[in-house]
Amino acid sequence: MTDVSRCPPLTRQSVVEAHARIRPYIHRTPVATCETINQVASTPQAERCPHTGPNTAAEPAPHEHGVTGDAAGCIARPRVKLFFKCENQQRIGAFKARGAFHALGRLIEQDGLDNVKRKGVVTHSSGNHAQALALAAKTHGIPAHIVMPTISTPSKIAGTKSHGADVIFSGSTSVERGAVVAEVMGKTGATLVPPYDHPDIILGQGTQALELEEQVEGLLEVEPGLGVPGRKRLDAVIAPIGGGGMLSGICTALLGTGIRVFGAEPRFEGADDAEEGLRQGKRVESVKTLTIADGLRTPVGEIPWSIISDKEKLAGIYSVTEEQIKAALRLAMERAKLFIEPSAAVPLAVVLYNEEFRKLVEQEAGEEGWNVGIILSGGNTTMEAIAKLFEVPTKAAERAEGKVTVDGDRIAENVAG
Amino acid sequence: MTDVSRCPPLTRQSVVEAHARIRPYIHRTPVATCETINQVASTPQAERCPHTGPNTAAEPAPHEHGVTGDAAGCIARPRVKLFFKCENQQRIGAFKARGAFHALGRLIEQDGLDNVKRKGVVTHSSGNHAQALALAAKTHGIPAHIVMPTISTPSKIAGTKSHGADVIFSGSTSVERGAVVAEVMGKTGATLVPPYDHPDIILGQGTQALELEEQVEGLLEVEPGLGVPGRKRLDAVIAPIGGGGMLSGICTALLGTGIRVFGAEPRFEGADDAEEGLRQGKRVESVKTLTIADGLRTPVGEIPWSIISDKEKLAGIYSVTEEQIKAALRLAMERAKLFIEPSAAVPLAVVLYNEEFRKLVEQEAGEEGWNVGIILSGGNTTMEAIAKLFEVPTKAAERAEGKVTVDGDRIAENVAG
């Protein structure tokens, strides 16, 4: 990978240059809006109709009292208009294509294409970065070795292989995969392209913020009613944080624009390491969680941490429960018709259900409200994964007792019908 | 409803006028493309990698030999570039908003808003037409009475009620619901707005074809590589057929343009009534099927039949199996990230899996290939419905035997891990 000391500075201008570098290889993904979700988000949780949350009796209501312990919770009334940046429609189905194409482009500029082709590249990733590097490498005719945990989603393994990459399996701890990566590097001389903790990756991921900013201004010029009254641009952007490559890239891209940047993460089993790190004033270095937001199970990297822990650059991080992620995922799919992976639903879940965030928006945005950009980071999930998340539990139990068929039809009804 | 004898003639010009009438009330839905699906569709079924079909061992391969009985089947190599008209992102989540707004607009023009407000409107529908008429009526301040079968999808009932309509339940046969509709008309004087068998509905539904035609030309002007070499416009459009309101509207809109129109329907339990009707030269008047494409369970209406049975207007109808619909639904969601309902996956299933259709395209389009517009008719389904369709059957069976937990984790692995 390009030597960090020779990388461009982490500035908005460098993101602009990164965008010019990768533009031929990536999609300018669309920006979507959904009036129904705007209305739900702008209604206090306590007043919402039951159809805007999980609609099976078995699932608990996703809202909860503010983390401040406010007993009268769930009453914040932020006014928001949401703009969804559809990186689920990016190449390989996730924003990671941006960082991979940028990092590889910079490596080629520095070492020359022939050298990079001879040595190849290597990375470790359980999913989207693996596919992204495989695609970028194939595009330039460079061999790619991808170390993936054996427990990776089969569709992500298949996607990585479909781009011609050499997939090598490892255990899922960082020590296990590090050993396999070192072995590949020793054998082939391949250059490591890390998934998030590198300036070239960060600058590449930041490019989506430039597009989003410009696209929202374009939309509001044509149709002002899509936004809050009197505002012609974004007021805030909220993005998921796992390793932090994307969030720190977005902070870098938007610094000085007046657009606030927020991070969103799952809370399950300590996945809220970034929020916890900010509280402690110190990066949390390891995380062990099986949150359904599988792209966000990693601790924040060192370089991303140096950016997001700067209050000038990041306005705050908020976390949500697994049920809240599922409820946001449901709304994005059923109402906005956007097919996304659970990690991509986390920022929407914060906007809909995190009472602390909602109070902040209500206070800062006031009567007028905010135009909020929401990064839908990816769409790489499978029908089976969705089936597992949303199966009606009572059906499974009844089936075990022989009361329903495997198709879920009630046997008694079939007899009667 | 407007007297049929006073309706505009069923011509392209009438569709253009219908479009002008409804434009303020509907979305101009986007057109999406997906290179991966283009590649799959342009590869013979026999040569496809297993990941482009159902990827669980329990599901049979969706391809099959041509209905001509050709033993060497599955070898057609049509070359196609697909353009998806995203009516799943239309208001109320389906194209039906077009017909409902048009029919109501015409009724108001004829009878005057005050009269229509006083009498109200009534319809019977298990789903999308119900929501569409409810929304259109609410928009004009008109009372709407919607007769829905008790077995309707709960989300569709909730959607209809959320637009302020008066929902009345009935049995699911046409006799049962007809009786309830008659009762409502007798009590209130409400005017019936039928779901498909009326010129005003047909003209409204046809408007999507005008947009698609224009949008594809616009896309190809900017990015010719999205289409087949040397072609600057659509060669064909394929749309689902249930009652036939949409398909006959599209035939009407595109007559004389040189763009061929095809229909697509499920085959399960005689749902292929339109194809069968064309074979017999006679409309099939009743259908009783529980195909997963629940929007396409109805027989073709009389006026739609008079249009689609005209070879000058419709180029053909092709049907697919339930497994083929599921496989197409999977590809649309997992690869193109488009959230659609099963009925909307039927045309894509024909393009991917109906060997007879694929041979026809190979022969007629030749080396160059065709640009094919695909109508994604709606996106009104739920996470639970998807879960039911795609649950891994072995998991359910194992769960019944106590080998896995309700979360689907293998108990043995949990112990070992």
Residue of A nearest to B155 (CA): A51
Q: Which residue of A has its CA nearest to B94?
A: A337
Q: Do B383 and A399 touch (CB under 8 A)?
A: no
**Cβ <8 Å between A400 and B399:** yes
Roughly what angle, to the nearest 10 degrees, separates helices A322-334 and A383-390? 120
Q: Which of A16-30, B214-228, B308-322, B395-409 has the lowest mean pLDDT?
A: B395-409
Distance, CA of B342 to chain centre = 8
Q: What is the DSSP letter of A31?
A: E
Distance (Å) from the C-alpha of residue B336 to the closest C-alpha of chain A? 7
Query: Which DSSP letter does residue A60 get?
Result: P
Q: Does B396 touch chain A (CB under 8 A)?
A: yes
Across the interface, of B155, B333, B384, the residue whose CB is closest to A339 is: B333
Beta strands in B87-211 (DSSP E): 121-124, 144-149, 166-170, 191-192
The C-alpha atoms of residue A59 and residue B382 are separated, in whole angstroms, by: 15
Of B158, B334, B408, the CB nearest to A383: B334
Residues β-bridged to residue A191: A121
Distance CA A20, CA A254 (A): 17
Instruction: Quote the crossing angle between the two packed helices A346-353 and A322-334, to the nearest 10°.
Output: 100
Which of A263, A393, A357 minimizes the C-alpha distance to A41? A357
Q: How far is A23 from chain B (nearest CA, A)?
A: 15
pLDDT on residue A69: 40
Provide the shortest C-alpha distance from residue B308 to chain A (in Å).
30
Chain A residues 243-262 within an 8 A CB cutoff of chain B: none
Structure-model confidence comparison of residues B406 and B247, the more confident one: B247
Chain A contact for B82 (CB, 8 A cutoff) = no
Nearest to A396 among B32, B381, B399 (CB): B399
Strand B370-376 relative to strand B80-86, pairing: parallel
- Cβ–Cβ gap B340/A338 under 8 Å: no
Q: Which residue, B5, B181, B208, B198, is CA-closest to B95?
A: B208
Using the beta-carbon criterion (under 8 Å), do A338 and B337 form an inter-chain contact? yes
Q: Does A416 touch chain B (CB under 8 A)?
A: no
b/e per residue B82-112 (b: at least 16 CB within 10 A): bbbbbbbbbbbbbbbbbbbbbbbbbbbeeee
Q: List, in order, residues 6 or more apart from B380 with CB less than 8 Å away.
A: B92, B93, B94, B127, B128, B131, B153, B155, B156, B159, B341
* Contact by Cβ (8 Å): B374, B33: no
Inter-chain CB proximity A330 and B400 less than 8 Å: no
Nearest to A147 by CA among A160, A164, A162: A160
Q: Express each pLDDT in B358-394 by its tens digit.
A: 999 999 998 999 999 999 999 999 999 999 999 876 5
Contacts of B330 in chain A (CB under 8 A): 383
- Measure the N-to-C terminal CA separation of chain B; round to a whole number of Å: 66
Angle at B158 between CA B304 and CA B287, to 5 degrees: 30
Interface test with B, best of A26, A334, A410 (most B CBs within 10 A): A334
Q: Looking at per-residue confidence, does B172 or A98 come out higher?
A: A98
- Contact flag A51-B158 (C-beta cutoff 8 Å): yes
State the Cα torsion B174-B175-B181-B182 to the nearest 10°.
150
From chain A residues 156-175, the ones with a CB under 8 A of any chain B CB are: 158, 162
- Which is it for strands A316-320 and A370-376: parallel, antiparallel or unpaired? unpaired
Query: In degrees rounded to 5, what are phi and psi of residue B166?
Result: -90, 110
Nearest to A387 among B93, B334, B386 (CB): B386
The alpha carbon of residue B394 is apart from the nearest alpha carbon of chain A, in Å, by: 10
* DSSP3 helix / strand / coil % (chain B, rounded to 5): 50, 15, 35
Residue of B nearest to A92 (CA): B335
The C-alpha of B101 sits at a distance from chain A's nearest C-alpha, in angstroms, of: 19
Q: Which of B32, B391, B400 lies closest to A400 in CB terms?
A: B400
Spatial distance between the Cα atoms of B413 and B417, rounded to a whole number of angstroms = 6
CA distances from B164 to A280, B132, B158, B361 (A): 50, 12, 10, 46
CA atoms within 13 A on the CB side of B33: 21
Instruction: Look at A280-289, B68-77, B207-216 and tell me which has the smallest mean pLDDT.
Output: B68-77
Nearest-by-CA chain B residue for A54:
B383
**Chain B touched by A30 (CB under 8 Å):** yes
Q: Where are the alpha helices (DSSP H) in A255-354?
A: 273-280, 302-308, 322-334, 346-353
Side by side, which strands form the sheet with B121-124? B166-170, B144-149, B121-124, B191-192
Q: How far is A198 from chain B (nearest CA, A)?
A: 29
Q: What is the pTM of this model?
A: 0.89
Contacts of A333 in chain B (CB under 8 A): 339, 383
Contact between chains at B339 and A330 (C-beta distance less than 8 A) = no
Show the tokens assigned to A261.
């940047």
Q: Are A378 and A92 in contact (CB under 8 A)?
A: no
pLDDT at B208 over 90: yes
- Residues B135, B91: contact at Cβ < 8 Å? yes
Tokens for B120? 């109200």
Per CB-CB distance under 8 Å, the chain A contacts of B396 are: 396, 399, 406
Q: How far is A314 from chain B (nearest CA, A)?
A: 30
Q: Which residues of A112-132 are buried (b: 16+ CB within 10 A; e: fewer)?
A: eeeebbebbbbbbbbbbbbbb
Residue burial B285-321, b: 16+ Cβ < 10 Å; e: rest: eebebebbbbbbbbbbbebbbebbbeeebbbbbbbbb
**Which residue in A81, A83, A180, A88 sits closest to A125, CA to CA?**
A180
**Residue of chain A nearest B332, judged by CA positions:** A339
Which of A36, A167, A341, A391 to substitute to test the interface with B, most B CBs within 10 Å? A391
B414 Cβ under 8 Å from any chain A Cβ: no
Is residue B97 within 8 A of residue B136, CB to CB? The reply is: yes
The answer to whether the Cβ–Cβ distance between B334 and A30 falls below 8 Å is no
Closest CA to B153 of B93, B101, B202, B193: B93
Which amino acids of A are annotated catalytic? 96, 126
pLDDT of residue A3: 79
CA distances from A341 to A108, A128, A160, A242, A382 (A): 32, 11, 17, 14, 9
CB A327 within 8 A of CB A245: no
Q: Which helix (H) or strand (E) holds B31?
A: strand B31-32
> Tell me: the pLDDT tens digits for B104-140?
999 999 999 999 999 999 999 878 999 999 999 999 9
Residues of B in contact with A396 (CB under 8 A): 396, 399, 406
| Contact residues on chain B for A381, CB-CB shorter than 8 A | 334
Residues 6+ apart with CB under 8 A from A225: none
A80-86 and A31-32: which strand pairing?
antiparallel
Q: What is the pLDDT of residue B63?
A: 53
* b/e sequence A199-234, b meaning 16+ C-beta within 10 Å: bbbbbbbbbbbbbbbebbeebbeeeeebbbeebebb
Residues contacting B214, CB < 8 A, separation 6+: none
Segment B43-67 shows an average pLDDT of 57
**Mean pLDDT within B145-166:** 88
Chain A nearest-CA residue for B396 = A396
Q: Which residues pair with B236 in a beta bridge?
A: B260, B372
How many interchain CB pairs under 8 A, A with B? 114
Q: Spell out which residues of chain A touch residue B392, defining contact as CB-CB under 8 Å.
A: 384, 387-388
Distance, CA of B280 to CA of A332 (rounded, Å): 44
Cβ pair A266, A325 in contact under 8 A: yes
Ranges of residues in chain A whose predicted pLDDT is under 70? 1, 49-72, 393-417
**Sign (positive/negative) of CA torsion A54, A59, A60, A64?**
negative
pLDDT at A26: 97
Strand runs (DSSP E) across A52-111, as ranges?
A: 80-86
Catalytic residue among B14, B81, B85, B96: B96
Pairing mode, if any, of strands B31-32 and A121-124?
Answer: unpaired
Tell whether A382 is within 8 A of chain B (Cβ). yes
Terminal-residue alpha carbon distance, chain A: 66
What does R_g of chain B's alpha carbons equal in angstroms? 22
Q: Do B273 and B298 contact (CB within 8 A), yes or no?
A: no
Nearest to A337 among B339, B390, B408 (CB): B339
What is d(CA B341, CA B262) in angstroms, rounded to the nearest whole number?
20
The per-residue pLDDT of chain B, averaged, comes to 89
Distance CA A351, CA A354 (A): 6
- pLDDT score for B50: 58
CA atoms within 13 A on the CB side of B231: 22
Interface test with A, best of B49, B173, B269, B334 (most A CBs within 10 A): B334
